[in-house]
Amino acid sequence: MLVDALQFVKPARERFEEWHAAGITAVHATVAIWEDSTETMREVGRWQRLLAQNADLLCEGRSADDIRAAGEQGRTAVVLGFQNSSPFEDDLDLVGAFHQAGVRIAQLTYNTQNSAGAGCWEGDDAGLSRTYGVNLVREMNRVGMLIDISHCNERTSLEALETSERPVAVTHSNPRGFVGEDVELAFRNKSDTVLKKAAESGGVVGLSMYPRIAPNGVDCTVAQFCDMIAYTVELIGVDHVGLGSDYYAGQGDEELHWWRQGRWSRKPMVPISGPVEFPDWFAAGRGYADVQAELLRRGFTDSEVARISGGNWLRMFESGFVAGPAN
């Protein structure tokens, strides 16, 4: 089983064929960043149409059983998710509504401040909001939607972990303690403190080869990526480490500008260099096989590699996608 816990590719048959060629069992696919509820529902509807049109390659991933079935059938289960809480429009009723529509994962914030908390572009003086942010965490716990803190700042991450009664995910981020401060978006990575707390919650951390946060940036090798896996396993335990590439093939300049500045800025608040290519070895996910082989060569057991490759995410999805007790 192979689970990629975050991609934002432009959905197209070519991408779905790449997933199949790479043997990816499940992909967490982004359907919203800054969009409101109506815009997001249109995107959810588009994905549902694409799932039906490409049923030979895809199925919907609403449950762990859906993902297991995808593996047995040689298809890829698509788990719909948000990289921001903007689609909820500060309305808790929309959390359950989107869960009914198939959304199973949502970040509390993207890069900036919102009603729920502060993103990683903000300072650490702001955290999870005492009203909406706390209640959003509780509502996501209740309906069975995974809380993702990948783009949250340090304080929001820690306060979300403290507030949540269910495991919290970091779908696509790397340990700052290993990667260091020299990569372009070092502030997007997580402190050892956050990673340890996420593991203590029962959560999983998806390590990413996105060059702006990966060790050695655009020159990250399979060996260096596996060095980072080994570091993270040593830090938080093999049961809490997974994969989350942040791959975004097919997206054009317009989409990239949208992610960086939404409608709230005339230019990116944090300067970022032009389009960046993922390492050649990743090859649209086919490089995962090289990662698995390198881990085995280093002495990781078959069971450990299986957990890192997708078993840990499946365990988290098993309980995280179903409703919890009422608040």
* CATH, residue 250: 3.20.20.140
Tell whether 326 is covered by a domain: no
Tell whether 7 is covered by a domain: yes
How many CA atoms within 13 Å lie on the side-chain side of 206?
30
Tell whether 62 is covered by a domain: yes
8-state DSSP, 11:
P
Contact 85, 107 (CB under 8 A): yes
Q: Is the dihedral of CA 87, 89, 90, 94 positive or negative?
A: negative
Residue 251's pLDDT is: 66
Tell whether 325 is covered by a domain: no
Tell whether 235 is covered by a domain: yes
Tell whether 245 is covered by a domain: yes
Q: Which pTM value belongs to this model?
A: 0.95
Whole-angstrom distance, CA of residue 80 vs CA of residue 100: 12
Tell whether 278 is covered by a domain: yes
Tell whether 327 is covered by a domain: no
- The torsion angles phi and psi of 107, rounded to 5 degrees, stand at -70, 145
Contact 188, 173 (CB under 8 A): yes
Per-run averaged pLDDT (10 residues), the chain, 327 residues: 96 96 98 96 97 98 98 98 97 98 98 94 91 97 98 98 98 98 94 98 97 94 98 98 91 66 70 80 95 98 98 97 79
Residue 276's pLDDT is: 83
Domain that holds residue 257: 3-320
Residue 113's pLDDT is: 93
Number of structural domains in the chain: 1
